[in-house]
Amino acid sequence: MALDATTRTETDSLGSMKIPADAYWGIHTARALENFPISRRPISVYADLVVALAMVKQASARANKEIGVLDAGRADLIDRAAQRVIDGEFHDQFVVGVIQGGAGTSTNMNANEVITNIALEIAGREKGDYAYLSPIDHTNRSQSTNDVYPTAVKIGLSLDLKSLLEELDLLRGSFLNKAVEFHDVLKIGRTQLQDAVPMTLGQEFHGFATTLGEDHTRLTENARLLIEVNMGATAIGTGITTHAGYRAAVVRQLREISGLDLESADDLVEATSDTGSFMSFSASLKRNAIKLSKICNDLRLLSSGPQAGLGEINLPAMQAGSSIMPGKVNPVIPEALNQVAFAVAGADLTVTMAAEGGQLQLNAFEPIIAHSIFQSITWMRRGMRTLRINCVDGITANRERLGAMVGSSVGVVTALTPFIGYAAAAALAKTALLTHRSVADLVVEAGLMSRDEVDKQLSPARLSGLEAVTAAIPIVQAAE
């Protein structure tokens, strides 16, 4: 009878299974594929998580070699195989779903099997030749899912955050560019959607840039919580199956490999069960998302119309807005960012509930924590990019409309209250609204200020606060 060359047989404690001959993953991964056909989204969608897993395996191989519990030949094979994954190869072999039971065991075993079979191939041996190099006895030596998985997640998030912060900086820069472009465009500010006092459109966009800069700081601060890892903890934090020197050696190797300032947790039992750092980091992502959503709300309001709305700015027209109304264009890019923010807020709640659901010495729900945060970072990074390129960079100001609104606004009377008093200013504002006349004209006609002084105080620089009033001016008394 002809042999089946398309599969190989692997065996675990539950029995044997046929594995595709060309697959680098093995029986533990195969069982996970059968057990968790839920998300239909493999862990490979988060490339930095895959890289981080390979970094942990590489660091462990080097540490095990250093302390003498793994021979140099096998350690070097694992090291070389892990490096290929770090370099971007074989990511398609990380196939287990992002949602899985077992506290990440399926993910850890997927990494063990793939790296082992790459190493076997490097050695000129067949995939599945685990008698020579074992996914568990060698690639997983001195480790447990319970220290590998959270450590890899922390490293992966730290790597992923770098690209998010880069995109955040670029978006902030786009708003700053618009602040410069609109520095002289006077407009009416609003509080509670009602006319308030004048400002410049440049000041409004500078405020957007400033708030994004603050989020950069908060994200960086909370990312510091991710540098504490529990490698060497193994199952529950007691370090069972590890040897003296491994804990210090593996963290030192991880620092060198990842370029991150990692440190070993003081209490490995606590660190193995605690997920507080993930909650804090997720919360900072939510803060950024919600503030970004508020900015998008403002952009949609400011561009509303174009005829029957505020119509102060124009967003780039990116696609037809209606299948029934010809010529309609919608603010689709800010709308997309709003939805990203809603998803990030929901993901943060998921992280919170998963953290609360941990029991005793382990949190079994770290896979959904990891998926939620990685998805938030991914969607926010992509969302920021499209907002920058397809929206903010192309915004223009409706200067004539803005100028007309400022010229007819009674809000400018606020600038005159130090000179004519609140009561007189309120009365004149009411008259201006009823008669549709200029506040400036009414002040001069009432004899409260001269035309020159009114024009001076209602100059764009003073109305927007760019030029402060540094001294009192003589108050012109009303004629008796």
| Residue 28 C-alpha from the chain's centroid | 32
Distance, in Å, from the CA atom of 49 to the CA atom of 184, rounded to the nearest integer, reads 47
In angstroms, the CA 119 to CA 126 distance is 10
304 is catalytic: no
Contacts of 443-448 spanning 24+ positions with Cβ under 8 A: 443/413, 443/416, 446/478, 447/476, 447/477, 447/478, 447/479, 448/416, 448/419, 448/420, 448/424, 448/475, 448/476, 448/477, 448/478
What contacts 131, CB < 8 A, 6 or more positions away?
none
Active-site entry in 163, 273, 282, 322: 322
Residue 387 contacts residue 308 (beta carbons within 8 Å):
no
> Using CA of residue 47, residue 50, residue 56, residue 62, what is the dihedral sign?
negative
Q: Give the length of the chain.
A: 480
Q: How far apart are CA 37 and CA 286, in angstroms?
A: 29
Give the N- to C-terminal CA distance of the chain in Å, as an integer: 120
**119 φ/ψ angles, rounded to the nearest 5 degrees:** -65, -40
Q: Which amino acids are annotated catalytic?
A: 322
